[in-house]
Structure 1
Amino acid sequence: MEPRARAGKNVGKETFNRKEVSSLLYAYGDVEDPLPDTMRVLDEIVTEFLDGICFEASRHAQVAGRQKLKFDDFEFALRRNPQYLGRVRSMIEKRQEIKEARQGFNEDETAVAKDAAKDAAAPTTSGTARDDALDDLDEDEDLEYLNSAVPTKGTSSKKRKKAPK
């Protein structure tokens, strides 16, 4: 369907949020509370522009034998306007950088997880982790600390000895 025919369906209906259109107009020098007609006209212009670009991109995708749109299709649709084309190309580059950064992050995370799994699966030489911890303790003081920190049956939490600092 031709984009102009499609645009006829939405005549009188606003596509974008009034607050967003108002903020856009204010950012470009209009008053803080623009006229409703101004906002309606801007909404129609932007909607028609986006419909036209999407129509051209979908037409290019059809000719290429695809049902889904790609960035290349939009690049083709905007080929006559160097400002828009430059913006689309910069968006494509940023998207690629983000994709590569995510992939690198996921690879790093996977490597860390594999190393942790290997460490957990490796058997210890002296037996258990508790035995390893006890080997490192100073004889009497640290054993007293461990025994006082573990509550025994029948003692309340108020009666437990606090560990020396």
Structure 2
Amino acid sequence: MSTKRKRMFSKELKHMMYGFGDVREPLHESIDLLEELVFEFIQEMTLKAAQVSNKRGKFQTEDLVFLVRKDPKKYYRVIELLRMNEELKKAKKAFDETNVEEEENV
């Protein structure tokens, strides 16, 4: 890495590497390289999404979806993750409402 920064994805990358057939404890250099690639990808996508959103003036999730629309694997994964996020929000809301009702009945 050219500049030192806090490792943000090391634990997750280590588990992903193991899940894809690497050893349980991969080399730190391998993790560092992958982390650099992930960071650069996120940075690049964020900058592109910001450029797209400048036309509307507001950064939205749809800007990222727009950027990956031509890559079917990324597109459908993004759609799946957004759907799962909505389901989690609904489940959390329902759970919170149930807890409020139970507390009121006590």
TM-score (normalizing by structure 1): 0.50
User: For the structure 1 residues 98 and 11, does the alpha-carbon distance in structure 2 shift closer, same or farther, using more than 3 Å as the test?
Assistant: same
Decide whether the 8 Å contact of 1:26 with 1:32 is kept in 2: yes
In the TM superposition, residue 111 of structure 1 has moved relative to its aligned partner by 6.4
1:30 paired residue number: 22
User: For the structure 1 residues 96 and 24, does the alpha-carbon distance in structure 2 shift closer, same or farther, using more than 3 Å as the test?
Assistant: closer
Decide whether the 8 Å contact of 1:53 with 1:78 is kept in 2: no
2:51 paired residue number: 59
1:7 paired residue number: none
Q: Percent same amino acid at aligned positions? A: 26
Q: Hey, what's the Cα distance between the residues in 2 that align with 1:11 and 1:25?
A: 23
1:13 is aligned to 2:4? yes
User: For the structure 1 residues 42 and 65, does the alpha-carbon distance in structure 2 shift closer, same or farther, using more than 3 Å as the test?
Assistant: same
Structure number with the bigger relative contact order (C-alpha 8 A, sep ≥ 6) is 2
User: For the structure 1 residues 102 and 29, does the alpha-carbon distance in structure 2 shift closer, same or farther, using more than 3 Å as the test?
Assistant: closer
Greater displacement, 27-36 / 10-19: 10-19
Letter in 2 for 1:21: L
1:97 paired residue number: 87
Segments of structure 1 that go 5 or more residues without pairing to the other structure are: 1-9, 117-165
1:55-106 CA-to-partner distances (Å, cap 9, x unmatched) read 122222221121xx32211111211211111111112222223333444455
For 1:1-165, what aligned pairs fall within 5 Å after superposition?
Answer: 11-14=2-5, 15-66=7-58, 69-105=59-95, 113=104
Letter in 1 for 2:62: D
Letter in 2 for 1:86: Y
- Rg larger for: 1
User: For the structure 1 residues 38 and 95, does the alpha-carbon distance in structure 2 shift closer, same or farther, using more than 3 Å as the test?
Assistant: closer
Greater share of residues in helix:
2
User: For the structure 1 residues 100 and 22, does the alpha-carbon distance in structure 2 shift closer, same or farther, using more than 3 Å as the test?
Assistant: closer
Decide whether the 8 Å contact of 1:79 with 1:85 is kept in 2: yes
Segments of structure 2 that go 5 or more residues without pairing to the other structure are: none
Describe the SS at the equivalent of 1:63.
coil
In the TM superposition, residue 51 of structure 1 has moved relative to its aligned partner by 0.9
Q: Hey, what's the Cα distance between the residues in 1 that align with 2:82 and 2:42?
A: 18
Decide whether the 8 Å contact of 2:45 with 2:64 is kept in 1: yes
RMSD over aligned CA atoms reads 2.8
